[in-house]
Amino acid sequence: MCLIRLARTLSNCRRLLLLERSGKSSVLEALVGRDLLPRGTGVVTRRPLILQLVHVDPEDRRKTSEENDPNAWRNMRLYKGVDGEEWGKFLHTKNKIYTDFDEIRLEIEAETERVSGNNKGITDEPIHLKIFSPHVVNLTLVDLPGITKVPVGDQPKDIEVQIKDLIVKHISNPNSIILAVTAANTDMATSEALKVAREVDPDGRRTLAVVTKLDLMDAGTDAMDVLMGRVIPVKLGLIGVVNRSQLDINNKKTVANAIRDEYAFLQKKYPSLASRNGTKYLARTLNRLLMHHIRDCLPELKTRINVLAAQYQSLLSSYGEPVEDQSSTLLQLITKFAAEYCHTIEGTAKYIETTELCGGARICYIFHETFGRTLESVDPLGGLTTIDVLTAIRNATGPRPALFVPEVSFELLVKRQVKRLEEPSLRCVELVHEEMQRIIQHCSNYSTQELLRFPKLHDAIVEVVTSLLRKRLPVTNEMVHNLVAIELAYINTKHPDFADACGLMNNNIEEQRRNRMRELPSSVPRDKGDQDVGTGNWRGMLKKGEEGVGGDKSMLQTSNPGSPQRGHAVNLLDVPVPVSRKLSAREQRDCEVIERLIKSYFLIVRKNIQDSVPKAVMHFLVNHVKDSLQSELVGQLYKAGLLDDLLTESEDMAQRRNEAADMLKALQKASQVIAEIRETQMW
């Protein structure tokens, strides 16, 4: 197998050359004009060989130096130590020059055995070789292993599949020319090279056939029909060549003499086709096909180069220039980070997240969605039972029976409920603090990529901002705690909203009392009925307490294990435990009054907390950090003794910057070459 590609800056327009075991080494050496490939029986090519041919003017070898140094043409620097007019270079031996082509062949064999072993193993890792000569055209040949049917040595059982996959991988490139080599003394219809070429190039637009061994055909036969395309037509044509025999190689017959003998054979055997066959015509044809294909690829290639140049320019900009003024650079980075941090909170950052809420938007979500919904889910009467209410009322009256609901019981119970708003309020502060911490990472990753150059500065900035947030957290928590404490400090029963609710509730209770009075039988005196209904009469309470147990919701569970029994002493210190009894009408009314008052006042306080906590968090945490961030960073980091340490680049940053700069220069040079080609209309 062999692969042909264009050398130098247009190497993206690759051309592949597919050869079967029908003299491929001889064809390649004929194109190069020198003996340089290993020879032998069986599988000799066991690694892809990328062979780049570079035409060099024998009187001016400046072109050669351009291959190593893009700027060499400016200072007219030449290679040193090159004695002959032809030489080679391997990629794996760096800048070592080979002027002896026997050494090149030995190096190919040694490098092949180093990776593939010495027992016929194969690998897809290529060997890169450049040949500089005034006798070649600009081509790049990739010599691939020939197709093997039966494994030998260390080759695996599926060697045929592996080699075919390797071949197809190379020749599937649409920017390639497939050169299918077939012997003239075999049946073209059974050519494995043409078969594989047709699989990847069914239209035959990039397949060129080479017919070898024209001098070895049986007596009385010729290859006229094959060369004329009458047996198997090939769109790019068929070219016949005559290679050196093994005897010629053993006798050290030169390639130049072989080409001269080839020309004489063609003139004698195929005079009408001699001008369109032979090694020299093959080389010119390949070069012409490459040039035409490059012309067709130039617009797309120009676009790709421009896109890559823009990408590498952006990458180089992100790496930044080498630091010259440390003080100015440090101040710029600190200022930019502080500005990006504030912009992220305000929603004016250059890099906007599209996958999730970030910065100020997330803080707003915490305030109005997370915190707001959490407060709304708090039940004003949650955790408060009827027993709790009645117990609070009785405890507030002391030893005296109460004529009215004591206000102290209301304050006691409503404070207990308001206290439950403190935990979600503090959790709101914690969530905002976490988001302020996340903004640091967001700015480091997306907004100020220059910080990646200086990992120590990045870590120092993160530490300063984290410390500032940590210092503001207890201050903000204390303020939020005080907001709840303020509500607990004074229960304002004269609050306008609460007074309106009390008035409406009193009207409802009075209306309910009138309705009950109207429902009393006419035989019951109004004053007695009023006493019974109101349960203000202690005898009525005693009587109701001795009645049976009802089944409605006004049942109160009590038990009295210490009640006096005949024959037992009475312990007056025993505390009565609730047993089942029916609540009196007054008890029901008192509980209902207290619950309504608690709910009404709780909603007022919850509304205040829902409004004041976000304001406190913004003032004591968010806005304070925004206003003091830059001064804090400058005060902590902008010190002469820290400049060298903070502005130390990461180990690989300088290398990556140089690589990006070199690639950008190469792309710019390639763009210039394409522009020159189009201007000179070399096609």
Q: What is the phi/psi pair of residue 232, to 5°?
A: -135, 110
Q: Which residues sit opposite 240 in a β-bridge? A: 211
Alpha-carbon distances of 678 from 671, 672, 674, rounded to whole Å = 11, 10, 6
Q: Which of 191, 140, 108 is nearest to 2 (CA)?
A: 140
**Six-digit token string for 273:** 């086709």
Which DSSP state fits 389? H
Q: What is the phi/psi pair of residue 349, to 5°?
A: -70, 155
How far is residue 644's CA from residue 4's CA, in Å, rounded to a whole number?
A: 52
Using a 10 angstrom Cβ sphere, with 0-12 exposed, 13-18 middle and 19 or more buried, the burial of residue 628 is: middle
Give the model confidence (pLDDT) of 375-419 as tens digits. 999 888 888 887 887 877 777 777 776 666 677 778 888 899 899
**Six-digit token string for 530:** 């009023």
Give the model confidence (pLDDT) of 410-454 as tens digits. 888 889 989 999 999 999 999 999 999 998 888 877 655 677 778
Give the contacts of 509 (CB within 8 A, at least 6 positions apart).
Answer: 589, 593
* pLDDT beyond 80 at 308: yes
Give the model confidence (pLDDT) of 461-478 as tens digits. 999 999 999 999 999 999
* pTM of the model as a whole: 0.49
* pLDDT beyond 90 at 498: no
How far is residue 120's CA from residue 40's CA, in Å, rounded to a whole number?
A: 12
Provide the pLDDT for residue 680: 59
**Six-digit token string for 267:** 């003139």
Give the model confidence (pLDDT) of 15-61 as tens digits. 445 455 566 777 877 888 887 787 766 566 778 888 888 888 776 55
Sheet holding 14-17, edge to edge: 14-17, 2-5, 139-143, 49-55, 127-133, 87-90
